[in-house]
Amino acid sequence: MTQADITGLILAGGRGTRMGTVNKGLQPFRGSTMAAHVIERLRPQVGALAINANDDLARYEAFGVPVLRDTTPGYAGPLAGMEAGLRACATPLMLTAPCDSPFLPADLAARLLDALQAQGADLAVAVTIEGKRRQPHPVFCLMRRALLPSLSDYLADGGRKIDAWYASHKVAEVVFEDDGAFRNINTLDELQAMGMPKLTDVTSCLSAYDPDALPVRDAQRIIREFVTPVRAVERVAIRAALGRVLADDLISPINVPAHDNSAMDGYAFRGSDLRDDAPITLSVIATVYAGRPSDAVPASGECVRIMTGGVMPDGCDTVIPQEHVASTHEHSITIAPRTLKQGDNRRFQGEDLKAGSPALKRGRILRPADLGLMASLGMAEVPVQRRLRVAFFSTGDELRSIGEPLDEGCVYDSNRYTIFGMLQRLGCDVIDMGIVRDDPQALEDALRSACENADAIVTSGGVSVGAADYTKEVMARLGDVTFWKIGMRPGRPLAFGRVQSNGRSAFLFGLPGNPVAVMVSFYFFARDALLHMMGAQAPLPLLRVTSAGAIRKKPGRTEYQRGILSPDGREVRITGSQGSGILRSMVEANCMVVLHDEQGNVAAGDEVDVLLFEGLV
């Protein structure tokens, strides 16, 4: 058997009372949730995944894997979750892991499978050596599906101890050297202490990590796993909610629509009166207006005139638009055969939203239509994430601010204004710290001030090979920062990490100094991280279109080329010179062509990925 013959089961069915009102696996951890981290580590090791949970089922179902409830009542512990998993398991083997252990080993399944087969065992369990003592971790267990009858009998007899059930079977113990991989988080204090990772914790998960030759996707993954969301929530009036990030699911307090109603101006009647072979004539007995329900109850052969939104009278299930009526008289209408079907043009109570169902999901960036939806539900205020505070500055002795004389060899600082615009588009509260000269003390002072007043810091310049020596020294003193050479064009140098000062910390994004490289690096590295910190779900949408011409490209690095998408959205052409200092090319372009690592030269007619600037730049 292979790992494809294993179903991974994440055990999240416990009560987790020490974690407050939020289920353990759904607790925020390092930018997502604990369960999400377990899923990410377990998914590559198994052929299928499932979650055992008894509460918050809708949120667990949002992970896109089957969610299984205990079949043994009364919270019978992890064995009940294992039983539920074995009942649903479609593979010969099942591997279990708890939802509160986000560091589980990347080779857990492989090593347990090897031991199970080599020893002909029923179960294989992970073990660590702590001091001189062997410490089994029984919930990290690979078991045969055939054990289901034995487990069900044990639970039916009142058994609850996992070790006692294991004792009746042949168990293979597998020693793992890293006891930290089996850490579980049991309290909110532990969660907070462990929720701030070191960069080495994240980079150690990557095979062949090389900061001097880092692929784009690896850099993006490291950043996403390292940053943590800001959890402060505030309530605002819906007029102030546009562009804010929704902090909780909004549950509809009412049915929308509140009653069965007409979707058209026309006539409501009993659909059973319709005939396919002859016209029908109906007597009009009343008129129903929107907002003014009628007591009229049309019988067979009768109808009411009804306006859009009018409440459907009892017995009526069909509406014919007034323009489709074959003929009208003073008190009757005639409908031609096969004009419509029974049930047409009737809107059902709760068709748009049912009372008690989510109207809007947490993490949504609120748009104008959302404000209208909230108003339709009678919501005057909504919970939103606190605005993210971002400080930014440019570095370089050659930079001058607008309004200052332009000395020989100097240039006006454009990056700060570009960054300002990009941050404003994200809805951040911005702190413009101006230009910081090329001086270690000036840089340290700026970083300390930014760190003490902001959640994140964005800088431009000072991270290239020639300029980074003292920058590295300063940042090393202030926190956990790494310098990367990323396999991309434009924008190869990037600094990332977290700096601290006087008990405060902020995430740092050190962007290159070339104007186009600043924008590319911001959108493909900083933007997603900042949105993640805001609690927002807004991935960059890439379109697949045809290239109008050939594009030269070397495999092994990601390239971002400025392009112009045709009005019909089917074809893209490159703007021309792609130098990273040519900001005008970004102004002329309406999109960016994304050429991934593995791609080589593009021929005319080939499909490429495109990122539209509309709403972004």
CA distance 182 to 178: 8
For residues 242 and 366, the answer to whether their CB atoms sit within 8 Å is yes
Burial (Cβ within 10 Å: 0-12, 13-18, ≥19) of residue 615: exposed
**Cα 533 from Cα 260, distance rounded (Å):** 42
Q: What is the three-class DSSP state of 237? A: strand
Whether residue 257 is preceded by a cis peptide bond, meaning omega within 30 degrees of 0, is yes
Beta bridge mates, 608: 545
Q: Would you say 24 is a known binding-site residue?
A: yes
| Neighbour count for residue 521 (Cβ, 10 Å) | 28
Residue 70 among known ligand-binding residues: yes
Q: How many angstroms from the chain centroid is the CA of residue 363?
A: 8
Report yes or no: 137 and 126 within 8 Å, Cβ to Cβ. Answer: yes
**Residue 472 to residue 614: CA distance in whole angstroms:** 36
The H or E element spanning position 595 is strand 591-595
* 597 annotated as belonging to a binding site for a ligand: no
SS (H, E, C) 37-72: HHHHHHHHHCCEEEEEECCCHHHHHCCCCCEECCCC
100 is in an annotated binding site: yes
Whether 161 has a binding-site annotation, put simply, is no
Long-range contact list for 602-606, CB < 8 A, 24+ apart? 602/547, 602/550, 602/551, 602/553, 603/547, 603/550, 604/547, 604/548, 604/549, 604/550, 605/546, 605/547, 606/546, 606/547
| Tokens standing for residue 406 | 């332009």
Residues 6+ apart with CB under 8 A from 100: 16, 24, 25, 34, 184, 185, 186
CA nearest to 340, candidates 354, 326, 350, 357:
326
CB 390, CB 457: distance < 8 Å? yes
- How wide is the angle at C-alpha 46 spanned by C-alphas 42 and 48, nearest 5°? 100
- Residue in 284, 288, 338, 340 with CA at minimum distance from that of residue 313: 288
Calculate the CA 183 to chain-centre distance.
26
Answer for the pair 446, 393: CB distance below 8 angstroms, yes or no.
yes
Which amino acid, one-letter code, is at 253? Answer: P
What b/e sequence results for 188-214 when a residue is b if at least 16 CB atoms lie within 10 Å of its CB, and e otherwise? Answer: eeebeebbebebebbbeeeeeeeeeeb
Spatial separation of the C-alpha atoms in residues 275 and 13, rounded to whole Å: 56
The distance in angstroms from the start CA to the end CA of the chain is 51
Tokens of 49: 């995944």
Assign residue 322 a region: left if phi > 0, alpha if psi is -120 to 50, beta otherwise?
alpha
Question: Do the annotations mark residue 11 as ligand-binding?
Answer: yes
Q: How far apart are CA 617 and CA 605, in angstroms?
A: 27
Whether 12 has a binding-site annotation, put simply, is yes
Indicate the annotated binding residues for GTP. Answer: 11-13, 24, 52, 70, 100
Q: Which residues are annotated as a binding site?
A: 11-13, 24, 52, 70, 100
- Residues annotated as binding site for Mg(2+)? 100
